Amino acid sequence: MAKQRVAVDVGGTFTDVCVFDEDARSIRVTKVPSTPDDPMRAVLSGVERGGIDLSEVSLFSHGTTVATNALITRNFQPAAMVTTTGFRDVIEIRDGTKDDLWDAYHDVSPPYIRRRDRFEVPERIDYAGHVVKPLDETEARRVAALLRKRGARTVAVCFVNSYANPAHEIRMREILERELPGVAISTSAEILPEIFEHDRFNTTVANAVLAPLVSGYVNRLAEELSAGGYRGDLLLLHSGGGSMTPRMVERYPVRLAASGIAAGAIAARHVAAQCGYANAIGLDMGGTSTDIALVHGGELRVTKEWSVEYGYPIIFPSIEVLTIGAGGGSIAHLDEAGSLRNGPQSAGASPGPACYGTGGTEPTNSDANLVLNRLGTALAGGAKVLSPELAENALRDQVAQPLGLTIEESASAVLRVANANMADAVRLISIRRGYDPRDFALIAFGGAGGLHGAEVARELNIPTVVVPPNPGVTSALGCLLVDIRHDLSAMFDAVGDEADVEEFENAFAGLEAEASARLRHEGVNAEDGVLQRTVSMRYLGQWRSLTVKCGSGPDALREAIELFHEQHEREYSFRRDETPVQIYQLGLTAIGVTPKPVVAPHEVTPGAAPTAQQNRKVYFEGTGWVDTPVHDRAALPAGCRLTGPAVIEQLDSTTVVPPDARVEIDEWLNIRIHLTEA
């Protein structure tokens, strides 16, 4: 019997491997350097270094950045788009907005498919789904022949109003499949059957350009794992917080476009629930960036408005994660006005921070932490030796001397700017949404989360910080906590009080039939399938909508409308019960429940007195150099308590406890830092 579950999360600097032993109910972890040119090499290297026998693995889950990186680098195979005559430039015109409204010389990136590779075919369906002009099949075959001659490897079929009637797209697909055998074809009616052609076309185009790359990577990895003895399905974490098998990835590769960042958010929710916090903010600070997610009432916020590059939306439900350029490798620099900035530029894995001694010369957050003795001179159990001298040189030359500061002051300033950037990002995802950060716990993880978590929390008056047992690989743990998940939607235009309840239920029944078919295709047993309904609504006359949960039965719609009023008041500070509510869209989430790892709690020894492995001087803002005990985290038992200042070191991370903070180690071996109020 297979006794292990394995999760692998590929990051920009390291690839993390998390192994759960079902018999011992314990977790072990390992890290290997990422291989951006071929991420699969790092995955297999992590399996080898972790001593994993694939024949004893019952589940292999993987969070990947392959799709994200492909959209950023635009390293696509030859792609084409076929659309209705007159709609060739929808994805280039976009919605007319810019990410920097006041910069007249800055424009967004070009579309994923060039204009020369976008082709028109005569056809037209109106808003109600009636055929106005039949598909010109002669022209369709001519376009197919031209695509074959050009060597297209993937095609996006995007006809206007196909969400109301997909017949023409289906026929176009049949023609392309006959003329272009082996070519990946994505139709907008299948990928996103929704109104607003800009959103639908762009999502379909992103799906098309990713299809050959992502499915190729996923299938190669699945074959390698199978050759090594793994007998189950490879599960791929997708942006919505669920997982997909390679069979579904071939159809919907665009769902992996935010795979990597979703894992950390899921892990943050798990840690918060384990500690009894219904409200929590996840702060996942790695080497290049920080991902921030909000958990309210035990649930993660989900958004349908996101993109990898501004101007090219991907309209699939995604866990709402705010990513900023603040990581251990973020570079401190002076702007044109001489002000100190931090990130978003990063030293990354190569050349790395100056203290790594691998060619980097610019000061980073890691260099600042090292100079202030918050970080030891060895990382990953001694695998990486850091040079304080190189860190000091970088800070002196590029920060301290230009600003007339001492080395300590410059390093402290670098960290204050980084912490302020992260605190501002937390405000955006909490206060801007109507949530008070003081009502939340901060779950700090990632390789650098423990170094900065307490000071970010203090700036926001968050009372408690939780650092998980293995913060550097917590995102990989998130991959073990997800279910198979699919999100479906259908347009439904009606005013709430006037909606036909039977028609409403029939529309959901159609979605549920499709959802059940997808779960069966994934090999999910009927008893493990869960279907969850949502309805998108807005006050009559509004443009933007809010999505709320919806039950079933004769009172479901009325209850959903009341929930809409409540959510609208929380997010926008007002409600209008007398205004008619318009139903805009129906949504259905299909979940195939997978087994979750249950880690055995540790016996609590109240009042256990920790013994520091050494003491060293550590610099704290406002206090200066303080004699600080340095603890080995493995030597801190459940129930242990201590008072800051303190530094807690482990293989994959370091946690800094500021003066006057209180620390307790709970039964799950989480570090809970309780801060005095500012």
Mean pLDDT of 611-620: 92
Mean pLDDT of 513-532: 87
Chain position carrying tokens 């976008």: 118
Q: Report how far residue 641's alpha carbon sits from residue 607's, in angstroms, rounded to the nearest whole number.
A: 6
**% of residues, the chain, pLDDT over 70:** 98
**Other beta carbons less than 10 A from residue 450's beta carbon:** 31
Lowest mean pLDDT among 142-156, 222-236, 472-486, 639-653: 472-486
pLDDT in tens, 111-138: 999 999 999 999 999 998 999 999 999 9
Give the confidence band of 333 by pLDDT, cuts at 50, 70, 90.
very high
Q: What are phi and psi of 651, to 5 degrees?
A: -60, -45
Give the confidence band of 2 by pLDDT, cuts at 50, 70, 90.
low
Which tokens go with 357?
Answer: 């001694």
Amino acid 678: pLDDT: 44
Residue 550 has pLDDT above 60, yes or no: yes
> Which amino acid is it at 580?
P
Give the confidence band of 389 by pLDDT, cuts at 50, 70, 90.
very high
Query: Which comes out higher in pLDDT, residue 90 or 15?
Result: 90
pLDDT in tens, 565-613: 999 998 888 999 999 999 988 999 999 888 777 788 888 887 777 888 8
Mean pLDDT of 37-56: 89
Amino acid 262: pLDDT: 84
Mean pLDDT of 392-420: 95
Q: Where are the alpha helices (DSSP H) in 430-500?
A: 449-460, 474-479
Amino acid 364: pLDDT: 95
pLDDT in tens, 439-452: 999 999 988 999 99
Amino acid 565: pLDDT: 94
Compute the radius of gyration of the chain from its Cα atoms: 26
Residue 538 has pLDDT above 90, yes or no: yes
Q: How far lies 26's CA from each of 48, 469, 595, in Å?
A: 19, 12, 15
| DSSP-derived pairing of the beta strands 57-63 and 234-237 | parallel
> Which amino acid is it at 523?
G
Does residue 584 sit in helix, strand or coil?
Answer: strand
CA atoms within 13 A on the CB side of 49: 16
Which residue from 191, 199, 203, 141 is spatially nearest to 166, judged by alpha carbons? 191
Mean pLDDT of 306-335: 88
**% of residues, the chain, pLDDT over 90:** 56
Query: Which comes out higher in pLDDT, residue 365 or 477?
Result: 365
Question: Given its phi and psi angles, is residue 24 left (phi above 0), alpha (psi -120 to 50 degrees) or beta?
Answer: alpha
Q: Report how far residue 424's alpha carbon sits from residue 187's, in angstroms, rounded to the nearest whole number.
A: 40
Query: Which comes out higher in pLDDT, residue 578 or 652?
Result: 578
Residue 478 has pLDDT above 90, yes or no: no
- Yes or no: say if 325 and 344 are a contact pair by the CB < 8 Å rule: yes
Give the confidence band of 30 by pLDDT, cuts at 50, 70, 90.
confident
Q: Report how far residue 47's alpha carbon sits from residue 263's, in angstroms, rounded to the nearest whole number.
A: 19
Give the confidence band of 677 by pLDDT, cuts at 50, 70, 90.
low
Question: What is the overall mean pLDDT for the chain?
Answer: 90
Mean pLDDT of 169-194: 94
